[in-house]
Chain A
Amino acid sequence: MFIPNTEAERDEMLQKIGLSRIEDLFSDVPKEIRYPNLNLPEAVSEMEALQNLKDLAIANDSTDDLICFLGAGAYNHYIPAAVDAIITRGEFLTAYTPYQPEVSQGTLQAIFEYQSLIASITGMDVSNASHYDGATAAAEACVLAYHHFRSKRKKFVLSRYLHPHYRETIKTYFQGYEKIQITGDGAVDGLQANEDLLKLVDYDTAIVYIQYPDFLGRIHDFKAFAEQVHAVGAILAVSVNPLALGLIKPPSEFDADIVTGEGQPLGIPLSYGGPYLGLFATKNQFIRKLSGRLVGETVDNKGNKGYVLTLTAREQHIRRERATSNICTNQGLIALTSTVYMSLLGKHGLKQVAKLNYNKAHYAADQISKLKGFEVVNFGAFFNEFVVRTPKPVSELNSLLLDYDILGGYDLSNDYPELENHMLLAVTEMNTKDDIDYLVEILQEVTND
């Protein structure tokens, strides 16, 4: 369809393969579904189509219209105007992941800077050029671990507080691998302790996956945990919120082997769930097994600095069916977005944003804990998200809050039946003190039966 051809050319091609009509090509597709009736409305003009789309867009309430306390993996952060101005330059906006890499020096340099920044904030030795999102990055980490042990270790131990979507994606990736056992994230009474997770870790374990801060917002010190994982030779993978790393110590400090994460908090708009950014960084030990693209800095034969795709023998266009990963692309423009964001903020700016998130979330938690009927659960160390036990079902509470233009927190009972009436609230630098006080006031009002 993409290559125009004439009737005569089509006939010639059909004759060559011994068919008489194009329809014969589809003979394996059952007749009744070959040309489905799609039940589409009448075609409209461009002007009408635009108006229809505008009408739909107006019906949305965005984070510009509402005060947002919803997080659970994607967060409402301020994005400096310069980010958009830079990334919409044609040279960046239209470039795809480099397939003729060395002529795309600008793109390669941007990726190299991205890799350097991610390696720096995670404390790891090396970062790849990025994946699609936090979920696919987590799945790729499991693929790496599986191949690292040459499929001899068959157990993946996932924390119950690794993002539910990431766990689902890992399980999807490993459908059809008969002997793989994915465990650790099953239902529990109350809260799962890290010690309980460790009990599942043995010499058959390829990878142990934790999240930091975890899905409930909590920050744990995983030092002793990591030692026990390493004692049986398993790989420790950690999914992070990169913004939190502006404040809390990087996973390298407790000897994580692989760090992945959702890069959305780094200057990427919520955009109804994507496109986002998959962070993926490891220790040097795993550099040959790193999935995806990798850009290196070198010099040409005249001594000028230049950038190249490096260690490409890992990739499927060279290793073919023996490649351990089939990712040959990256999230180029979005990786650039995060690079521009991090560069604009700098080391101190990142720390400052992280601190604002931390302080505001802790103020909100303090205020909510004073409300009758509400309880801040597990009031230990947390970053910008925390769990509140509510006097009403969360879905009911959220629809009441919406009447007051408040987008309430995440209903944890969606994924954790044991956490009925538990709301996960996120507070970012976008929430003013007035916003938080207003939330507290309205929570009181709508539960004051």
Chain B
Amino acid sequence: MTKDEIFGKVAATLVEALNVDDDQVKPTSTLQGDLGAESIDFLDIVFRLEREFNIKIPRGELFPESIFQNDPDFVKDGKVTPKGIAELEAKMPYADLADFKKDSSLENIGNLFTVELIVRYIQSKLA
């Protein structure tokens, strides 16, 4: 399957799960900010991706839960520390951390969850 084909199927899945329009879904779209996803939607998305691509997505592999576990080594004063960024890189190898490194406020973590993240993850699962 080509990357475009994967994107097409992921976009269709997100349209179903999040009730958004087809043209709202772009690779750079953030799930929470742009597409209005809430926590329960993340689980719905995982279920649908499993069925659409016939793969198994172990819990926390695509959308890690409590990445930092309130560990003060990872988060200080609302900002993610360099150690925390290393933890992110380990737990979310498909994420694009370039922008996040410029402004590492904890509240920006949500922006890492993009459509592109899902597409890259699926690509590696299908490889």
- A interacts with B: no
Interface residues of A (CB under 8 A from B): none
